[in-house]
Structure 1
């Protein structure tokens, strides 16, 4: 597969806004249109007035309307890497991971080890694989994300208008996401919620890590005990906010790191779980509830733990 190459957009573009992009902020629209262009450059051309809507300057928070004529100046953009072949085994396996699909969205049971999108040395991720499988669905977009090592339910919008509705549901806390995590030790009954601000950090090695930090963003996760074992606890985690690595860092903050976590785990506990057959992060998005973006109907999906995770649990002593 060819790597993406940088090219220069040498002509001014004029784009007409349809209902698929109506209501979207101009800055977010430009970021999506100019993939490969740094966000700082997008805001610079907006600030300088090089971007025009109906021949007038506009602010980054301007919301586009149907029929708006958007002028985009010549900028350096990165060509999109070609989609993977739909015949690749890893892509074909995604077909069986689709739990539900209609003309508005798809629900995927994402396998552990697959990134949700390409980049950082990856040729492609789940969203590129789905676009290869559904070449006629031109507007497939992730509604939310899962860490590469986390498995489970993931929501993908098939239209821009549906993405907007689902994002609004996320903002309004109308999307209920529940995860199962196997954590070290005995989770306390009294720990029903962890509220700890989280901040992203980059280590000298270049590795990105999230830590509890008073200067970080407010973050909150609800927990309940699902099943107790002599060596560990299976907990259900419901993120109230949606920060990077939130559940993984909040369980660590509570004194109970997740089994098999290479960034935030406990080496001794992980070794014990490896001996019981665990070869991955024990974090799985098992339940998802939201309202259908088109009909408003309440939707609920469940994805049971896979065979590997169930086998690990079967080798633990139930309390």
Structure 2
């Protein structure tokens, strides 16, 4: 940890009414709090709102800070604010067969994930973070009641002790352990199995598949796309309930994207998956405009799943809203 986080004088100033000191100290934890809230909620924009609410609550409750750890105190506020949001919006799903069951699901840009890790994080911790930010995990934990979801994340993702978790949630160690067992059992029984190889960095084969996907999509090449898709390909489009299973089901999609106009795709990354940001130039227009983000999942040597999100988060991905007809896209290293 940096000197800022451990300097008692700075913490004392921040919690005694020095607004500038408070803002500087809280800013250090803003990104990791955002990732925590995103895991809880599965929604980037909701997480942003909850983090802002967390900092407001913390500032207003600064007199109640007991001096036992500023980071843990912020996490307690953020977790409780997330729980309030889940309960208010009643966001729990009865099944998690696909991302179509989670209409509020949004992607998280890798460029921001790379800013979220605490500076003293161990390499193994980063592997866990990668596993537990992927879309499959986020969808699976939407099966859990709010309290169980919080406990699973605190214990199995953040590696908090049962005692720390109980203190944060104002419950007992026995209650935490019981809820954790139920949460793990639910995921074991109801959540789809995850591919173990997806915990690592993308392979050269996967990077090549992304490049082929971009090339074929830009040329509206149906046969080129079909070549790289598994026969049991699945495509979903949160927040829409649409779900396409298998290559024969994609015929209306192929016909639709040819009719839309011209495409320009830029490689990016979301939730530790390779992805492509799509720009569309409609007939009669001279500008490519932000349209969608496709997040790809691979199995063996083909594309197994594509999750399509709308253009809402282009800014968060560091992507422009438009590209001129003659502009060459800036290719982000996937």
Bucket of the pairwise TM-score, normalised by the shorter protein: under 0.3
Q: TM-score, normalised by structure 1?
A: 0.26
More strand by share: 1
Q: TM-score, normalised by structure 2?
A: 0.25
More helix by share: 2
